[in-house]
Structures are given as C-alpha cells and as structure tokens.
Amino acid sequence: MRLSQRQWKVEKAGQVGTTSSLSAGSQRGHGQAQTAGRLAGQRVSASAPASLREGLEETFTINRLGLRATLRRCLGTTNIVESPTAGVRSRTGRVTNWRNGQMVLRWAAAAYLDAEKAFNCVMGYRDLWMLNAALDEDQLSEEVRVA
C-alpha cells in the first residue's frame, strides 16, 4: 500500500527523534565494536572506530529522512557508485598507452555507456519522490537556520 505524499508528510512531521540520541547510540556501538574485536582475539585498528562512527552517522541520516525500507537499503550501500566504476575499470584496464585527455574521455564515456546495459532498476525507485521531498525540506530548514 502506497502512501500519498500528503500522508507521508504528515507522518514524517509527527516523528519524534533527535540526532543527539542517535549519536549517543553510535557511541555505544563504537564501544561494542571494540569489545567484540577483543573477544574474538583480534586487534582493533586505530581508524576502525572512526570509520564505524562515520558509517553510523550516515546510516542515521538515511533513517532520519524517513524513507521506506527498500530505498533505504539501496541508498545505504555504495553499490550504486561502485558498480559503474568497476564496469569502466574492467573495460579500460588493459589500455596502457593513453594518447591524450580526449582519448581518455572517449574511452570512459564508451565504457560507461557499455556498463549501463548491465544496470538494474534502483530498488525502491517508486519512492524517490519521498527522497526528493525530504531533501527539499531539509534544505529549506538549513536555509532558515542560516538566515
């Protein structure tokens, strides 16, 4: 069952939750990650907790937008960016003698167009209007804070 845009905005306006409570949860997650690594007999690298905090913050941002699960799952990964890049890398990886910048651009464009054939539809593409509305709303609130 799809929500109308008005129903979605009403539900989103009624949601309660602050980013400060979310960042407190990320601090707990950071401690749990270190404990889990030590219990498994592994050393936790110095950059791992920072990376975990960064990832959790991005996850909370996606959740804060109030998107549906299918779209959140798709946007919560880097596959959208990595898949075309891997396609271009596989198609241009053996070229060793790039003559000039124009050649690079031609090959990259051709490789992206060829990789496009393997693209699938974005999961939750029907809910992209929700993402657009949430980003517009977020941008308006940011402009109000600045002014």
Q: What is the mean pLDDT of residues 121-141?
A: 86
Q: What is the mean pLDDT of the chain?
A: 75
pLDDT in tens, 97-108: 989 999 999 999
- Residues 87, 113: Cα–Cα separation, whole Å: 10
> Please, what is the angle between helix 128-146 and helix 5-14, to 10°?
50
- Specify the pLDDT at position 125: 86
Ranges of each domain in the chain: 17-64, 68-147
> What pTM value is reported for the model?
0.48
What whole-number distance in Å separates Cα of residue 60 and Cα of residue 52? 12
Closest CA to 114 of 94, 95, 86: 86
If you average pLDDT over residues 6-28, what whole number do you get?
Answer: 50
43-97: pLDDT as tens digits: 667 777 777 777 777 667 778 888 888 888 888 888 888 888 998 999 999 888 9
Q: How far apart are CA 15 and CA 42, in angstroms?
A: 40
- Dist CA 87 CA 74 (whole Å): 19
d(CA 80, CA 83): 6
Closest CA to 22 of 64, 52, 74: 64
Beta strand extents in 15-146 (DSSP E only): none
